[in-house]
């Protein structure tokens, strides 16, 4: 897979030239917590992203997507730095855990104001919970689909839980399971459902015995507790 990334970056350099400023890897692959379900999450910064430059990205992106990779996030320089107040959760998470694959590190000295964090944190948690419930209904109770739903959503919620730690003035740990233990110190949650879902994601043998419907129920209950805390946070 490393060769695919190298080829992708080379294609970008050949296409965009000196306007390519940064290629950043973030997420589970950057923290080395990846499993067979993990994607390569890439953020790209280009000096200018006018329509001509956007068209140039079609060819290298086509090759990248052909390998079933996730589409990268693409910012121009101006939009990146003007978006710090809009994406505090995402930028805080990437700042803490990323790897520079090419160019400058835009997160190295990035200052993120936390005043917008509570609002985005509440919005994201509630909207993701709504989608989670909706997705469960669509499974029609199919256990294989419920298992897939749990695996697909756990990382997103754990990233959001990191933002809750930022909100209360704590520095989140890199490892996901440690995030849960820190939150447990000030919110009365049961971390076991999350740990079991991580076992499912890691394909641990004992996880095959888990009742995924019961696990889903407990998973949602704990998420609701965290949302309630954020909702009342001053």
Q: How many domains does the chain have?
A: 2
Question: In this structure, are 76 and 127 located in the same domain?
Answer: no
Question: In this structure, are 24 and 122 located in the same domain?
Answer: no
- pLDDT given for residue 175 in this prediction: 78
Q: Among residues 68, 103, 138, which one ends one of the domains? A: 103
What pTM value is reported for the model?
Answer: 0.69
Specify if 222 maps to a domain.
yes
Q: Distance (Å, rounded) from C-alpha 160 to C-alpha 90?
A: 9
Provide, rounded to the nearest whole percent, the portion of the chain with pLDDT above 90: 65
Average pLDDT (158-167) is: 92
171-177 LR contacts (CB < 8 Å, sep 24+): 172/96, 174/31, 174/96, 174/97, 175/31, 175/33, 176/33
Q: Distance (Å, rounded) from C-alpha 113 to C-alpha 91?
A: 11
Q: Per-residue pLDDT for 48 more than 80?
A: yes
Question: In this structure, are 78 and 148 located in the same domain?
Answer: no
Average pLDDT (106-113) is: 89
- pLDDT given for residue 34 in this prediction: 67
- Host domain of residue 22: 2-103
Q: Per-residue pLDDT for 112 more than 90?
A: no
Q: Per-residue pLDDT for 176 more than 90?
A: no
Q: Among residues 103, 131, 154, which one ends one of the domains? A: 103
Specify if 110 maps to a domain.
no
Specify if 109 maps to a domain.
no
Average pLDDT (64-80) is: 93
**Residue 42's closest CA among 56, 58, 61, 59?**
61
CATH of the domain at 184: 1.20.120
If one compares 38 and 162, the residue with the highest pLDDT of the two is 162
């Amino acid at each position: 897979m490393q060769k695919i990334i190298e080829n992708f970056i080379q294609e970008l350099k050949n296409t965009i030239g000196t306007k390519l400023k940064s290629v950043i890897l973030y997420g589970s692959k950057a923290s080395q917590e990846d499993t067979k379900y993990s994607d390569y999450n890439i953020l790209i910064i280009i000096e200018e992203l006018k329509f001509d430059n956007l068209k140039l990205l079609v060819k290298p992106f086509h090759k990248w997507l052909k390998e079933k990779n996730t589409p990268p996030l693409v910012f121009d320089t101006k939009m990146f730095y003007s978006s710090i107040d809009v994406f505090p959760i995402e930028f805080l998470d990437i700042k803490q855990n990323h790897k520079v694959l090419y160019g400058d590190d835009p997160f190295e000295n990035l200052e993120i104001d936390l005043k917008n964090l509570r609002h985005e944190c509440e919005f994201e948690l509630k909207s993701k919970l709504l989608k989670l419930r909706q997705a469960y209904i669509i499974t029609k109770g199919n256990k294989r689909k419920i298992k897939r739903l749990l695996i697909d959503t756990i990382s997103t919620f754990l990233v959001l839980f990191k933002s809750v730690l930022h909100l209360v003035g704590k520095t989140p740990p890199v490892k996901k399971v440690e995030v849960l233990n820190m939150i447990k110190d000030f919110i009365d949650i049961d971390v076991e459902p999350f740990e079991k879902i991580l076992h499912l994601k890691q394909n641990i043998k004992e996880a095959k015995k888990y009742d995924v419907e019961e696990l889903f129920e407990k998973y949602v209950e704990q998420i609701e507790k965290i949302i309630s805390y954020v909702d009342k946070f001053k």
